[in-house]
């Protein structure tokens, strides 16, 4: 992975600097149609602007990164979900491979202070980081923001079921 710094043009004042992380994508789990690969992640260069700094060496370790698409750029912040694959819970791994893509019309909104309101029914409020700023609490580890039953325009948190491999295979065969 390489890191570079570049100015981001804004309409007024000094340019805001962003860090650009270059990396190799192994798999994309949830993205707009037509997005095949991501090579660069953009983040504000300063931590005070919620910039993300990857402090650990990569050492060939696979990471799961949840970013936001802004134009053609994938943006990450200190509130983004960024975890080593090896540290994911069984529910998170199952969610990535089977469940999360059902929530493509849903948006997760990180709650960074109280009060915080969602602006649409398709949003789920992510509160894991409110107390500790560590975004790997119960919502991240065991839940998914998914459409409510019988609707495509309203979303809510749902608990991910963790089953043994045999139970998962049987449930998939029943579908």
Closest CA relative to residue 77, chosen from 85, 67, 86, 87: 67
CA separation for the pair 117, 169 (Å, rounded) = 39
Q: For 65-93, what is the mean pLDDT?
A: 85
Q: Which domains occur in the chain, in start order?
A: 1-87 (2.40.50.120), 88-175 (3.90.370.10)
Q: Which residues 6+ apart lie within 8 Å of 2 measured at CB?
A: 21, 22
Residue 65 has pLDDT above 80, yes or no: yes
Query: In sequence order, which residues have a C-beta less than 8 Å from that of residue 16 and are 6 or more positions away?
Result: 7, 8, 10, 44, 45, 49
Angle (CA) 127-50-99 rounded to 5° is 45
- 128 and 135 Cβ atoms separated by less than 8 Å: yes
Average pLDDT over the chain, rounded to an integer = 78
What is the pTM (predicted TM-score) of this model? 0.68
Choice between 14 and 27, residue whose per-residue pLDDT is larger: 27
Q: Give me the half-sphere count of Cα atoms (radius 13 Å) on the Cβ side of residue 105.
A: 11
Per-residue pLDDT of 120-175, as tens digits, reads 999 999 888 887 777 778 888 889 999 998 887 899 999 987 665 555 444 444 43
């Amino acid at each position: 992975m390489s890191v570079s710094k570049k100015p981001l043009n804004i309409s007024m004042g000094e340019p805001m600097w962003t860090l650009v992380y270059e990396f190799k994508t192994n798999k994309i789990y949830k993205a707009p149609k037509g997005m095949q690969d991501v090579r660069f992640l953009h983040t504000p260069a300063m931590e005070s602007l919620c910039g993300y700094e990857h402090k650990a060496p990569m050492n060939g370790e696979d990471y799961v990164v949840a970013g936001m698409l802004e134009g053609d750029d994938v943006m990450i912040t200190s509130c983004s979900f960024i975890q080593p694959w090896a540290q994911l819970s069984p529910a998170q791994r199952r969610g990535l491979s089977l469940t999360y893509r059902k929530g493509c019309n849903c948006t997760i909104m990180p709650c960074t202070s109280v009060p915080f309101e969602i602006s649409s029914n398709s949003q789920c409020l992510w509160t894991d980081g409110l107390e500790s700023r560590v975004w790997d609490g119960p919502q991240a580890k065991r839940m998914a923001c998914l459409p409510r039953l019988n609707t495509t325009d309203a979303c809510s948190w749902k608990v991910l079921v963790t089953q043994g491999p045999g139970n998962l295979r049987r449930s998939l065969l029943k579908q």
